[in-house]
Amino acid sequence: MKKYILLFMFCLLAGQMLGYKDIRHKELERSLHTALQGDVHNVNIASVTDFQWDKAYVFPPYTPVEVMRDELGVQSYKDWSGLGFRDDINLLVFLHGDQIAHYAEIDRAFGEFGQNDSLSFTPSHATLTVQRF
């Protein structure tokens, strides 16, 4: 009986792993952090992305999950970064069609993209102004 339980647990875990898709784009985070160093006040997000996207959103710290779901139009959104409880990052979320393609956590030490509201943009209008503290 123990064998069957262990086999069942293994199959369950393997199934979860096969369905897992890491959508946090750490390479994009590094590219943006590099681009935002120094006296840079504008950054073209489209120039540092290596994937297809139709629309992107910047969410400021403490944005509740419900607000992000409404803005994104994706009810299945999970708050992977814990943004609703954090003040150290802005969250950049990319949509392709009606699906979340990737997201990136942008350290606030590099500046702010918006004051209190979320900000949306498209690849053809993807230059963001960074406000330094």
In a domain, 104, yes or no: yes
| Residue 122 to residue 7: CA distance in whole angstroms | 47
What percent of the chain has pLDDT above 70? 80
In a domain, 125, yes or no: yes
Indicate whether this model's pTM tops 0.75.
Answer: yes
For residue 8, give both structure tokens.
Answer: 């069942």
For residue 92, what are the domain limits? 22-129
In a domain, 4, yes or no: no
User: 99 near 74, Cβ under 8 Å?
Assistant: yes
More confident residue, 5 or 76: 76
User: In this predicted model, what pLDDT tens digit does every residue of 81-123 receive, in sequence order?
Assistant: 889 999 999 999 999 998 999 999 999 888 887 554 558 899 9
In a domain, 3, yes or no: no
In a domain, 8, yes or no: no
The residues, ordered by sequence, that sit 6+ positions from 3 with a Cβ below 8 Å of its Cβ are none
User: 130 near 81, Cβ under 8 Å?
Assistant: no
Number of structural domains found in the chain: 1
